[in-house]
Amino acid sequence: MSRRGGLEAVVVGGGVVGAACALALARAGLQVALVEGTPPAPWRREQPDLRVYALAADNAALLDGFGVWDAIRGARAQPYRRMRVWDAAGGGELRFDADAFGRRELGWIVEQSLLLERLWATLPVAGVRVRCPARVVALEQGGEGADAAGVRLQLDDGSWLQARIAIAADGAQSTLRQLAGLAVDRHDYRQRGVVGYVATRYPHEDTAWQRFLPGGPLAFLPCADGACSIVWSLPDAEAGRVLALDDAAFARELTRAFDARLGAVRALSPRAAFPLRRQLARDYVAGRVLLLGDAAHVVHPLAGQGVNLGLRDVAALRDGVLAAQAAGADWSAAPRLARWARRRKSENALAAYAFDGINRLYRSDAVAATLLRGPLLGLAGRLPPVAQQLWRRAAGL
């Protein structure tokens, strides 16, 4: 059901999830506009972006469907073929290996700016109408009838956009979510994730490494040219202290924290940090406004699933549109939107609380938790069906 000459969906927010959503709906034949306040910074080959994502297999396939994955992979996307997870308190190790799952890789490490550059380059090709720089300042919602206005968005230049639905993909502090009156529940972990690039004495072996420490997990993610991107979750005060260290002192502390698993570490880049929290929207739909990505859910980064969950929101919405079109039904009917919202809210909440529980377990200094958690990792690693199921869920398969 297409509105000739009119918009059917307005996506607010041009980050990775928002741009992917605009592309997905445009590829499904909808008339789509994307509203973003700030153009994305260009990707620079000589200066890797500190923000990287561990893209799962299903989301690489989603990007491939947009025709952008080959360009991303050809520029700089590092496959990881193994994962190693262990606890500083001792015990066994959880291992995932692509060969055991009959795959060439488990996923890919990709810089945020590279993803954005390739996605944005494809927007006009797909027919998406980009309004940037522009911000939403007001929202009006119509009725539910076939000829109802749906939703109207006023931009900061005074113009209005009208469509059947509006999609809030404008981040954790979403303006559109607030205008729609959708509430969120927040939990501050009182931690920050310290990120940066390092060189290691020994090769990273195309492996994503994670060690659980009392202050939070420490991940070494394999990158191109042999470097590693680190994500070190630390209590706020400790993160501030680590950020203030000079490169040599930071490298020594990081080497010790990682138990010198890859030998001595050397800093390659400046460091940055971002606050960690769990934030879940109580509802994903209000009338004709939908939430997805960080506007709907923010999770702990210990499993690297934040952007993957957001892209799965996109894939589920696209699949719902395509299924309705195939059946000759109204893809924007309220029951269909509500069904999508229930499914995505359930899956995202399950993931958020699972990550929360893992974080609490491995930060606990209780004797029982300390004695159990290492052996549990080892047990899961020694049971191939368990390890395979854990990985298949993380990979969205």
Given this model, what pLDDT does residue 145 score?
Answer: 43
- Residues 6+ away with beta carbon under 8 Å from 110: 52, 53, 55, 72, 76, 77, 78
Q: Where are the beta strands (DSSP E) in 282-322?
A: 285-286, 289-291, 297-298
* Cβ atoms 43, 114 nearer than 8 A: yes
- Rounded Cα distance between 156 and 178, Å, is 16
* Cβ atoms 33, 11 nearer than 8 A: yes
- Report residue 56's pLDDT band, with 50, 70 and 90 as the boundaries: very high
- Does the pLDDT value for residue 237 go beyond 60? yes
> Phi and psi of 242, rounded to 5°?
-65, -40
Which range (40-49, 153-162, 268-277, 388-397) has the least confidence?
388-397
Q: What is the pLDDT of residues 116-172, one digit of tens each?
A: 999 999 999 999 999 999 999 999 997 544 345 589 999 999 999 999 999 999 999
- Residues 6+ away with beta carbon under 8 Å from 193: 231, 232, 233, 234, 239, 273, 274, 276, 301
- Does the pLDDT value for residue 372 go beyond 70? no
Q: Report the pLDDT averaged over residues 97-109.
A: 89
Helix H or strand E segment including 69: helix 69-76
Q: Where are the beta strands (DSSP E) in 207-310?
A: 207-213, 216-222, 228-235, 265-267, 272-281, 285-286, 289-291, 297-298
- Does the pLDDT value for residue 356 go beyond 80? yes
Q: Residue type at 393?
A: R
Mean pLDDT for all residues in the chain: 89
Given this model, what pLDDT does residue 47 score?
Answer: 92
> Phi and psi of 137, rounded to 5°?
-120, -15
Task: For tokens 């550059």, name the residue.
Answer: 117
* Cβ atoms 131, 18 nearer than 8 A: no
- Rounded Cα distance between 9 and 6, Å, is 9
Given this model, what pLDDT does residue 149 score?
Answer: 55
- Report residue 380's pLDDT band, with 50, 70 and 90 as the boundaries: very low
Q: What is the pLDDT of residues 278-332, one digit of tens each?
A: 999 999 999 999 999 999 999 988 767 889 999 999 999 999 999 999 999 999 9
Task: For tokens 């969906």, name the residue.
Answer: 9
Given this model, what pLDDT does residue 201 score?
Answer: 98
- Does the pLDDT value for residue 99 go beyond 70? yes
Q: Report the pLDDT averaged over residues 249-265.
A: 97
Q: Which domains does the chain have, with CATH numbers?
A: 9-47+60-66+114-185+278-357 (3.50.50.60), 78-109+189-276+360-394 (3.30.9.10)
Given this model, what pLDDT does residue 303 score?
Answer: 66
Q: The pTM is what?
A: 0.91
Given this model, what pLDDT does residue 258 score?
Answer: 97
DSSP one-letter code for 91: -
- Does the pLDDT value for residue 83 go beyond 70? yes
- Report residue 368's pLDDT band, with 50, 70 and 90 as the boundaries: very low
- Residues 6+ away with beta carbon under 8 Å from 32: 7, 8, 9, 10, 11, 22, 25, 26, 127, 128, 129
Q: Residue type at 280?
A: L
* Helix, strand or coil, per DSSP, at residue 28: coil
Kindly list the distances between the CA atom of residue 34 and the CA atoms of 134, 136, 237, 337, in Å, as whole numbers in the listed order.
Answer: 10, 11, 39, 20
Given this model, what pLDDT does residue 91 score?
Answer: 67
* Cβ atoms 281, 295 nearer than 8 A: yes
Other CB atoms within 10 A of residue 58 CB = 15
* Helix, strand or coil, per DSSP, at residue 51: coil
* Cβ atoms 361, 302 nearer than 8 A: no
Helix H or strand E segment including 347: helix 334-363
Instruction: Choose among 381, 358, 241, 248: nearest CA to 302.
Output: 358
Given this model, what pLDDT does residue 96 score?
Answer: 84
Q: What is the pLDDT of residues 162-204, one digit of tens each?
A: 999 999 999 999 999 999 999 999 999 999 999 999 999 999 9
Given this model, what pLDDT does residue 361 score?
Answer: 63
Instruction: Choose among 210, 238, 367: nearest CA to 303.
Output: 210
